[in-house]
A and B are shown apart, each in its own frame.
Chain A
Amino acid sequence: MNVVKAIAVNTFKEAIRNKILYSLIFFALVMMGVSLVLDQATVGQRNKIIKDMGLASINLFGVMIAIVVGIGLVSKEIEKRTIYTLLAKPVHRAQFLIGKYLGIVLTLGVETLLMTFFFFLLVWLYGGGIDLVLLKAIFLIFIEISVVAAVAILFSTFSTPFLSGMFTFSVYVIGHLTEDLNRIASSSENFALEKLTAFFYYLLPNLENFNIKGEVVYHLPLAPGKILLSASYGLLYIGFLLVSSAAFFQKRDFK
């Protein structure tokens, strides 16, 4: 456990010292840009728009960081040959992977927290008060980007950073379309196609499960247990990804 913790903290330190949190400046700039446009263009509904934009930006930035940092976690250790000394220590490869993963989750958590703070500040400045319901959506966004980071790690255990990035981005896109995939499949006459899409429907993460941005902005009632169920789904899926990653990683040679 100490080993995992040490690796996680080290990974977090790396992200901080490599100035990952500078991306917050861009987040702030985007949000300020949005509010400037709001002043000029829209007549009403300012509150709704600023909430939409804020949640979407937190989501987008989170996904971007999860992919960019996630694909580098393992491959950088290999490329810079730091993995040799690390694995020469009494460290299981699975421990290494889990430590790395927890490190990025910690990084994403801190980043999300800071973005949330800035977002709430802006909403408050625009007279929207402090709307704690928004936190529900942000919590699920955090679960979503944690899933995306785990996808990135999985690919980076057997692929190059560039390809891992492409793959992870594809999974992110398809992850929002699985619902539609399923719909196409169930309306199809082709039995094989139906089975195939059904297979992918369950294999790929259904990231729409983590999207309640619209619901919280309009204060719509959520189905009871929706958040808990979605978060549990995310955690199980992350577990599935990490175990698969560890299996790939265990077999790998580091030349």
Chain B
Amino acid sequence: MKRSLLIVIVMIILFLGQAQLQKKLARFESPEQETLLYLPSGKYLKPLALGYDQMLADLLWMKTISYFGDHFMTDKEYPWLHHILNLIIDLDPLFDFPYFFGGIILSLEASQVDRANQILERGIEAYPEKWQFPFYIGFNYYYHQKDAEKAAPYIEKASSLPEAPAYLVPLVGGLYAKTNKNETALRFYREAHRNATDALVKEHIQKKINRILSGIDNYDTGNTDTTSD
């Protein structure tokens, strides 16, 4: 009886001891040291996944969410976000969420527009039919970098894809207008007019063309009101 009591006491002491040490050790880990740092590039990670690529991508995806959450609540710096997203894409290119997440969060929240666009380019590669990816690239160029010239071809591409919303068409024209290219805008509108099936849209585009032709909207001088159309 005495003996078993002793054993229980020793067990408790050892258990509490290891718990204390664990507490101390946890303090050594500074938050600066990102565990993500140790992830190799996707080129090496993919063979090492041994066929569990999708599962590994999912686990990294959950890691991404918590990484984002942690930094969003603290320093709002995300130096490793694009790296881990690229890894996920390497492992599971058809997983579409990381493209959306990277394309929007990296530019909007982390101000890493080029990296956001790089991820979106990979999205186009994986899903050439999804209009959102070129659209976001165009948006990033225009909104964050005020570069309508680079944005326009992407938005144009987006507007040509299935399921693209109709409001992209005037947007494209507007963007070309911003780049002071009456000719290009006109060419685009005429093409859109030819492709449009809806009578109302057709009428709308025709009006637009007429305005350019009549000189009311002169893109070469920048005298326009794209927003109203």
Contacts and interface: CB of A to CB of B under 8 A. Distances in A.
Nearest to B53: A214
Interface stretch (A45-53, A75-83, A97-105): A45-53
B59 to A, nearest CB: 9
Contact of A217 (B54, B61, B65): B54
Given A55-B55, A56-B52, A180-B47, 6 more contacts: A41-B65, A43-B97, A52-B57, A207-B51, A213-B54, A220-B94
A194 to B, nearest CB: 19
Given A43-B65, A176-B47, A49 B94 contact: no
Given A37-B62, A176-B47, A177-B47, A45 B54 contact: no
Question: For the side of the interface on A, what is the size category?
Answer: 20 to 34
A211 interface: yes
Contacts of A187: none
A56 B54 contact: yes
B121 interface: no
Nearest to B96: A45
Contacts of A208: 51
A60 B62 CA distance: 20
Contacts of B52: 56, 59-60, 213
A190 interface: no
Contacts of A214: 53-54, 92, 94
Nearest to A179: B47
Contacts of B57: 52
Contacts of A55: 54-55
B214 to A, nearest CB: 48
Contacts of A217: 54
A55 B62 CA distance: 18
A49 B58 contact: yes
B66 interface: yes
Interface of B: 47, 50-55, 57-58, 61-62, 65-66, 92, 94-97
A217 B96 CA distance: 13
A208 B52 CA distance: 10
B65 A213 contact: no
Given A43-B65, A45-B97, A214-B92, A52 B50 contact: no
Contact of A41 (B55, B62, B95): B62
A42 interface: yes
B54 A52 contact: yes
Contacts of B95: 45, 48
B61 A49 contact: yes
A203 interface: no
Nearest to A177: B47
Contacts of A43: 65, 97
Given A45-B97, A177-B47, A52 B65 contact: no
Nearest to B63: A41
A52 B58 CA distance: 8
A218 B97 CA distance: 13
Contacts of A59: 51-52
B47 A53 contact: no
A213 B97 contact: no
Contacts of B65: 41-43
Contacts of A60: 52
A172 B52 CA distance: 13
B51 A211 contact: yes
A42 B55 contact: no
A213 B61 contact: no
B58 A41 contact: no
Contacts of B53: 214
Nearest to A44: B97
A173 interface: yes
8 contacts: A42-B65, A45-B61, A45-B97, A52-B54, A52-B55, A173-B50, A176-B47, A177-B50
